[in-house]
């Protein structure tokens, strides 16, 4: 859809049509959405897959042009949780308007997902970080790429002028540290900045971004988090450092980034599986509490009825 011809009603209707297309293939209603970055094939192999749907099968839907990204949805179960996984993502550098880049995020939310786990590879700006480390994102800088919320607000997707004070879930981030410790993984906590790509950052840009407070840099994820926040989703984001940012190592190559992503496959999987276990335990606890309160209310109602009975 052309930037100059954007029609919010058409955009929303396209998403509704995509929901219907997926629901004709499977009746699984996901609770959690996962954006699978490069190198998470190990996690996919553990899933109880119910359906796989290529982006190209959906009407008026963006298609990934990056060969490292498969561009499909996987509806599955894992750790007792119903999932929709986005295997491969859409990037702004592929030439799509930002509202189309985040279409998959919005679609996963419309299908039922209320929590999202975003994963991706990054370059380290913070000189104390090392290649192979993981980063739990605690905040972001998004002002170097267009916002996916620019243009008329679509009220069915979220409220206008979305607050960005507490984007990433503190409870999940706290649990991530425990998961990383138990699996002997180095997990930092940092600020993510998204660049447009298709080029990597220059040494001067790395210095500037570090001065602004950024710890890691990549070509995705922040716009996805904004769209998820707009939709009211609970968000956690895990990044893997596959290279040092421009100027902090001799040369950055795409081959190196891909190889590093594959090398941390199992670590990534351990973190994601740990989050799913936490979410399942949390859901079970809430369900138990809800049932307890329901039973308590029934008992109170019966006691009131007994008090009012003529026999008493």
Summarised one tens digit per residue, pLDDT across range 250-293 is 776 767 666 666 667 788 889 999 999 999 887 665 545 455 45
| 307 in Cβ contact with 208 (< 8 Å) | no
The CA dihedral of 267, 272, 278, 281, to the nearest 10 degrees, is: -120
Report the C-alpha gap between 142 and 133 in whole angstroms.
23
Q: Tell me the average confidence (pLDDT) per consecutive run of 10 residues in the chain, 312 residues long.
A: 75 98 96 85 85 96 79 92 93 95 98 96 95 95 96 95 95 94 95 95 96 96 98 96 88 69 78 92 60 57 63 59
Q: Two tokens at 133?
A: 């480390």
To the nearest whole percent, how much of the chain has pLDDT over 90? 71
Report the C-alpha gap between 124 and 151 in whole angstroms.
32
Report the C-alpha gap between 118 and 102 in whole angstroms.
12
Task: State the alpha helices, DSSP H only, in 85-183.
Answer: 98-101, 103-110, 170-182
pLDDT, residue 65, reads: 82
Quote the pTM value: 0.88
Q: What's the chain's length in residues?
A: 312
Summarised one tens digit per residue, pLDDT across range 96-139 is 999 999 999 999 999 999 999 999 999 999 999 999 899 999 99
């Amino acid at each position: 859809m052309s930037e100059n011809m954007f029609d919010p009603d058409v955009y929303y209707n396209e998403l509704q049509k995509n929901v219907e297309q997926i629901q004709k293939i499977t009746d699984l209603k996901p609770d959690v959405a996962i954006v699978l970055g490069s190198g998470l094939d190990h996690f996919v192999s553990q899933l109880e897959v119910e359906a796989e749907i290529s982006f190209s099968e959906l009407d008026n839907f963006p298609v990934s042009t990056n060969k490292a990204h498969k561009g499909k949805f996987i509806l599955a179960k894992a750790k007792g949780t119903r999932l929709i996984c986005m295997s491969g993502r859409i990037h702004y550098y592929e030439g799509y308007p930002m509202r189309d880049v985040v279409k998959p995020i919005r679609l996963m939310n419309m299908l039922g997902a209320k929590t999202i786990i975003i994963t991706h590879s990054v370059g380290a700006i913070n000189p104390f970080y090392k290649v192979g480390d993981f980063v739990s994102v605690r905040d972001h800088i998004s002002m170097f790429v267009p916002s996916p919320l620019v243009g008329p607000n679509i009220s069915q997707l979220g409220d206008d002028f979305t607050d960005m004070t507490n984007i990433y879930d503190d409870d999940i981030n706290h649990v991530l540290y425990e998961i990383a410790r138990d699996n002997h993984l180095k997990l930092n906590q940092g600020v993510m900045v998204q660049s447009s790509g298709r080029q990597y950052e220059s040494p001067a840009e790395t210095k500037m971004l570090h001065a602004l407070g950024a710890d890691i840099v990549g070509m995705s994820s922040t716009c996805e988090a904004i769209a998820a926040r707009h939709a009211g989703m609970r968000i956690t984001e895990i990044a893997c450092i596959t290279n040092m940012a421009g100027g902090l190592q001799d040369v950055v190559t795409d081959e190196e980034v891909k190889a590093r992503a594959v090398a941390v496959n199992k670590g990534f999987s351990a973190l994601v599986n740990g989050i799913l276990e936490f979410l399942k335990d949390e859901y079970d606890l809430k369900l138990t509490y809800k049932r307890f309160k329901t039973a308590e209310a029934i008992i109170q109602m019966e006691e009131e009825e007994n008090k009012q009975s003529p026999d008493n």
